[in-house]
Amino acid sequence: MKIKKIIIIGVSVIICISVLTIIWNIKNKSLKSSDIVNTTTNSNNSNKPKDTVSKNGESSNQVETKSSDRVEDKTQPEDPTNSGTSASISKSAAILKAELESQSKSGSENASNPQVQTFTGYITTEDDFAAGLKEDTAAMIYMRLMALSGLGITFQENGEWVFYYFDGNISTDNKDGEGGTWAFNGTGSQLDAWNIVKHQVELNNGSDKTKPVPATVTGVLDGSMQTNPGPDADGKRFPVITVQSITKN
């Protein structure tokens, strides 16, 4: 009877130990499965950016994206300083353009309406001037070959001698004088200057013919040029005065 009871107790103990072992193993497996699930979830969460939900329910990434879009689409306002500078430059350019147009207009008016000028110097001829004789004598000017080169006025300007032709027709080489001799046939201011020279040559029984012929001339330089048309032409060009008056000094 005692042996049977011992056997029953032994079998019960073995059964209890087996049950406890089975329960322990099940619990361990459950814990390991839970750890694996948690580890995988945490790993996935760490790879994703954390979104902060705003008041309107949008994530912070969505809010930042929209803000960025608004900044990029926004048109930059014009810098008032640059605007003022541009206006100033435009105004200066307009003023400069107006001044240039005014100067150009003034220059055109002066060219179309040249001013009357006064020249004080000596009556001479192109041949005399080209030979460097400056204020030559009346007797030299009163020669056929000299007259055929054309008469004008010479004077010093900025330390140098200059020569301007008188307007009118320059005398030609002819045989229209008394007995088939040469006669001065120039016209206009050429004739006026010739008569002044002739008068000085004949003055005081010819005693003044060895002196220069001083004169004052008023007239206009209109841009016309003249060359020596005589037999000893040198091709030099000189301005022509449209003479209003010639007065012997």
- Of 164, 166, 165, 184, which Cα lies nearest the Cα of 175? 184
Whether 2 has a pLDDT exceeding 90, the answer reads no
Residues 95-120, mean pLDDT to the nearest whole number: 70
- Of 213, 222, 207, 181, which Cα lies nearest the Cα of 194? 213
pTM greater than 0.85: no
Among 17-21, 29-33, 68-72, the least confident range: 68-72
* Dist CA 190 CA 194 (whole Å): 6
Q: What is the pLDDT of residues 117-151, one digit of tens each?
A: 999 999 999 999 999 999 999 999 999 999 999 99
